[in-house]
Amino acid sequence: MNINLTLFGQLISFLFFIWFCKKFVWTAIISAMEERQKKIADGLDAADRASRDLELAQEKATEQLKEAKHEAAAIIEQANKRASQIVDEAKQQAKTEGDRLKTAAQAEIDQEVNRAKEELRKRVATLALAGAEKILQANIDENVNRELVDNLAAQL
């Protein structure tokens, strides 16, 4: 219980331990802890960033998929349109061709008919002449009669 030099012994060792603690313990531990804190914060940041990136990528993928679907639909529609167009065109062509053929056939028929008529007319004329000759049994002026019969034939 006596106050003696122990007082100063303790004082000096106290100061020594404070110095030791500051110099060899505190700084090292605090800096390590701060470094770790920074590392963890960085890690969390990186994780956040990564998840954000992932979200973004997913969004982008979805968008691309949608776009692709859209495009595919458009292409199919276009193809359908084109197909129907082709069919229409073919129909049109066929119709035109048919019409043309029909017209040509009609023309030929007409021509044929005309020719047949012509032929008929000629034959009728001749036939009529011959008939008339036979009926009259006379020598009629062939030229005058012929003109008459030709006029008759033209009226047919």
- Closest distance of CB 68 from other proteins, Å: 46
Contact call for residues 149 and 125 (beta carbons, < 8 A): yes
Q: Residue 11, interface with other proteins (CB under 8 A)?
A: yes
Residue 7 engages other proteins in binding (rule: CB under 8 A): yes
Tell me whether residue 24 or residue 84 sits nearer to other proteins (CB atom). Answer: 24
d(CA 153, CA 135): 18
Footprint of other proteins on 31-60 (CB under 8 A) = 31-33, 35-36, 38-39
Q: Does 3 bind other proteins (CB under 8 A)?
A: yes
Distance set, CA 107 to CA 100, 101, 103, 118 (Å): 10, 10, 6, 16
**Angstrom distance (rounded) from CA 4 to CA 11:** 12
Q: Which residues bind other proteins (CB under 8 A)?
A: 1-11, 13-18, 20-22, 24-26, 28-33, 35-36, 38-39
